[in-house]
């Protein structure tokens, strides 16, 4: 047995000999060159929780279904300890097969945590965080691993001992960006008819290259005899560069689907994964996401839509916003003309195409660290997290925290529950229309982390909400009169409190640090925590949220409106006349003496 240290990049599971085997994709830290590694773990089993009517009869009924194990456990359900049955199954595919049968048993009141994907369950239970380091004890040479397919420079090993997380800094990741150009004289590109004419590649390791099927004197252009050869060369470069992250711009919807379709027509294998697998597509939300096993594919377009407020989200517009520079552009409907020119216009097209790939790399280096840090906090794969809504990120963070605290996670709403919740909205924050005119001596009053602070100070949480309470033991919201127990701390408030405490610690470290690089990393970490904390108010009123309670959302905004109105009244007593207010702050004109 030997111990290996690696950055955990991704995770999935496969079935071997009728057994589910978790695969951990990573890059070794203790190997020369940092080779790719796949660690196989066949020892983890799926499970669900059952809420019984009568414990022992329920246990016997479930055993008759042929499950692997049933055991009695004490867990918390919204802060209250209850007896559950933990039902362990043989294979993840048994969960959807048996959950309805279990739910329909006469002694079963409800089932819980039946919809947590197996690989995510593994990360949560093992306390592992993608994009951070882990230490694994593996068998150096295992007969079970013989015959397992992998790409060049990738080792496949079997977990034979412990696996544990290690505190680590930001990983040093290899990034490879790509961009394709298509010959489309008839308008919108059609993969049935229009070939790929260029594939441009850029990396944070120094690669700058354009693959093309046209001759060019430019030294960064490599000419291939035809499109099929160009696609094969692309696969070869990915394998040789061995990137941790593949990045494109709108690559979920255009670049990778187009590459897949053209490769299929030309019968070119796209074995891009570190396990030797081909390019795949998975449903994420309402769209398909391009998946490369062992290499995290990130579509920057999705991240830019989340983090920037722009009039449009073209690569040129985003680049201008982030770097203040105009990026050379060729209209899409003119690309075929530049290609046909075969002279200076073709050279301009080559420069334009490479510039797109380089721009993607530069944007990625600037914008990815925040999403990477959120991955390390939320604890779900980078590929998934980059495609999650803010509400989903909060929910998976809370699911992990619930496991740490021995809480059984609430179910997602049923169709009827969701239908009932839709259309219901909590009242918003207070807004005072601006006083028209030009104003001098303006000051701005701002509440720091208003809604998170209310959640903590008033202990606003589904598990602290009560119908009746001694006024001394409750916080009662204005307007709605919702009551929340002061003690003990609620599930969500305690978690937000820890987030804000950690954020204050990081900001204090930033002020003391004299190292610019350290300050940059600390700033990314505190910004990720800020984003997570500020998102937790909104999800209380999100119809699909597991911890949904509209009363909580209503109470928070009611307190927020109350605080800002009272503060404005108090400010006027000191000579500050409010001229505009919105949610957590207001502008005022000083009308007192001395200015």
**531 and 581, same domain (yes or no):** yes
Residue 194 lies in a domain: yes
**573 and 500, same domain (yes or no):** yes
**190 and 333, same domain (yes or no):** yes
Residue 391 lies in a domain: no
pLDDT in the model for residue 147? 52
pLDDT in the model for residue 518? 85
**53 and 76, same domain (yes or no):** yes
The domain tally of the chain equals 4
**Angle at CA 258, nearest 5°, toward 242 and 187?**
140
Domain interval for residue 244: 175-378
Taking 70 as the pLDDT cut, the residues of the chain under it are: 30-33, 140-151, 593-595
Q: For residue 292, what is the DSSP state?
A: B
CATH code (residue 91): 3.30.342.10
Residue 234 lies in a domain: yes
Dist CA 222 CA 211 (whole Å): 5
**261 and 140, same domain (yes or no):** no
**516 and 582, same domain (yes or no):** yes
**201 and 265, same domain (yes or no):** yes
Return the bridge partners of 581, or none.
432, 586
pLDDT in the model for residue 328? 87
> Which of the listed residues 131, 148, 166 is the one where a domain comes to its end?
166
**480 and 564, same domain (yes or no):** yes
Dist CA 296 CA 382 (whole Å): 7
User: Model confidence over 414-447: pLDDT tens digits?
Assistant: 899 989 988 888 888 999 999 999 998 899 999 9
Tokens matching residue 409: 């996670």
Return the bridge partners of 296, or none.
245
Tokens matching residue 544: 């699909």
Q: Is the pTM of this model over 0.85?
A: yes
Instruction: List all residues 6 or more positions away from 331 whose beta carbon is below 8 Å from its beta carbon.
Output: none
CATH code (residue 228): 3.30.420.10
Residue 401 lies in a domain: no
Dist CA 340 CA 83 (whole Å): 73
> Which of the listed residues 331, 352, 378 is the one where a domain comes to its end?
378
**582 and 491, same domain (yes or no):** yes
**326 and 437, same domain (yes or no):** no
Residue 398 lies in a domain: no
Dist CA 145 CA 275 (whole Å): 12
Instruction: List all residues 6 or more positions away from 260 whose beta carbon is below 8 Å from its beta carbon.
Output: 270, 279, 281, 290
Tokens matching residue 562: 């109350």
Are residues 166 and 5 in contact, defined by beta-carbon separation less than 8 angstroms? Answer: yes
**336 and 210, same domain (yes or no):** yes
Residue 91 lies in a domain: yes
CATH code (residue 540): 3.90.1600.10
Residue 573 lies in a domain: yes
pLDDT in the model for residue 149? 61
CA 468 to chain centre: 39
CATH code (residue 127): 2.40.50.730
- What string of H, E and C letters represents the secondary structure of 155-196? EEEEEEEEEEEECCCCCCCCEEEEEEEECCCCCCCCCCCCCE
Residue 480 lies in a domain: yes
Q: How many CB atoms lie within 10 A of CB 583?
A: 16
pLDDT in the model for residue 143? 47
**112 and 206, same domain (yes or no):** no
User: Model confidence over 209-221: pLDDT tens digits?
Assistant: 999 999 999 999 9
> In Å, what is the CA distance from 281 to each residue of 159, 284, 364?
28, 9, 22
CB-neighbour burial class of residue 391 (10 A; exposed 0-12, middle 13-18, buried 19+):
middle
pLDDT in the model for residue 595? 46
């Amino acid at each position: 047995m030997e111990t290996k240290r690696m950055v955990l990049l991704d995770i999935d599971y496969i079935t071997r000999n009728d057994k589910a085997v978790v695969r951990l994709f990573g890059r070794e830290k203790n190997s020369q060159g940092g080779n790719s590694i796949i660690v196989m773990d066949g020892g983890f089993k799926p499970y669900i929780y059952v809420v019984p009517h009568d414990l022992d009869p329920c246990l016997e009924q479930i055993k008759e279904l042929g499950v692997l194990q049933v055991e009695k456990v004490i867990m918390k359900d919204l802060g209250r300890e209850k007896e559950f049955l933990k039902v362990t199954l043989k294979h993840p595919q048994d969960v959807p097969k048996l959950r309805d049968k279990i739910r329909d048993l006469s002694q079963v009141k409800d089932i819980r945590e039946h919809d947590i994907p197996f690989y995510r369950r593994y990360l949560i239970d093992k306390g592992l965080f993608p994009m951070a380091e882990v230490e694994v004890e593996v068998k150096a040479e295992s007969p079970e691993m013989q015959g397992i397919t992998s790409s060049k420079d990738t080792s496949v090993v079997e977990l034979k001992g412990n696996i544990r997380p290690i505190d680590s800094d930001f990983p040093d990741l290899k990034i490879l960006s790509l961009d394709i150009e298509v010959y489309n004289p008839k308008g919108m590109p059609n993969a049935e008819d229009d070939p790929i004419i260029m594939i441009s590649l850029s990396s944070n390791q120094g690669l700058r290259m354009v693959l093309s099927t046209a001759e060019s004197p430019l030294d960064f252009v490599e000419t291939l005899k035809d499109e099929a050869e160009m696609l094969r060369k692309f696969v070869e470069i990915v394998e040789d560069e061995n990137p941790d992250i593949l990045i494109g711009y709108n690559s979920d919807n255009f670049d990778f689907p187009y590459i897949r379709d053209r490769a299929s027509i030309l019968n070119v294998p796209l074995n891009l994964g570190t396990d030797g697998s081909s390019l795949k597509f998975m449903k994420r939300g309402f769209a398909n996401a391009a998946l490369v096993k062992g290499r995290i594919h990130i579509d920057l377009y999705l991240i830019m839509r989340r983090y920037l407020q722009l009039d449009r989200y073209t690569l040129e517009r985003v680049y201008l916003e982030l770097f203040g520079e105009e990026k050379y552009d060729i209209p899409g409907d003119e690309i075929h003309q530049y290609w046909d020119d075969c002279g200076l216009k073709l050279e301009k097209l080559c420069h334009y195409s490479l510039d797109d790939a380089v721009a993607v790399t530069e944007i990625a280096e600037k914008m990815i660290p925040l999403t990477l840090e959120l991955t390390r906090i939320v604890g779900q794969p980078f590929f998934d997290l980059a495609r999650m809504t803010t509400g989903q990120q909060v929910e998976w963070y809370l699911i992990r925290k619930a496991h740490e605290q021995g809480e059984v996670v609430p179910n997602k709403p049923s169709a009827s529950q969701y239908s009932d919740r839709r259309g219901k909205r909590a009242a918003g924050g207070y807004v005072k229309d601006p006083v028209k005119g030009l104003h001098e001596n303006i000051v701005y009053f701002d509440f720091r982390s208003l809604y998170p602070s209310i959640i903590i100070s008033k202990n606003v949480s589904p598990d602290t909400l009560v119908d009746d309470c001694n006024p001394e033991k409750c916080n009662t919201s204005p307007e709605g009169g919702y009551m929340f127990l002061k003690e003990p701390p609620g599930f969500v408030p305690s978690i937000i409190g820890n987030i804000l405490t950690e954020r204050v610690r990081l900001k204090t470290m930033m002020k003391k640090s004299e190292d610019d690089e350290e300050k940059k990393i600390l700033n990314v970490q505190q910004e990720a925590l800020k984003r997570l904390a500020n998102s937790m108010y909104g999800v209380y009123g999100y119809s699909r949220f597991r911890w949904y309670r509209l009363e909580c959302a209503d109470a928070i905004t009611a307190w927020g409106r109350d605080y800002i109105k009272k503060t404005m009244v108090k400010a006027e007593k000191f000579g500050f006349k409010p001229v505009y207010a919105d949610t957590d702050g207001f502008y005022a004109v000083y009308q007192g003496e001395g200015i």
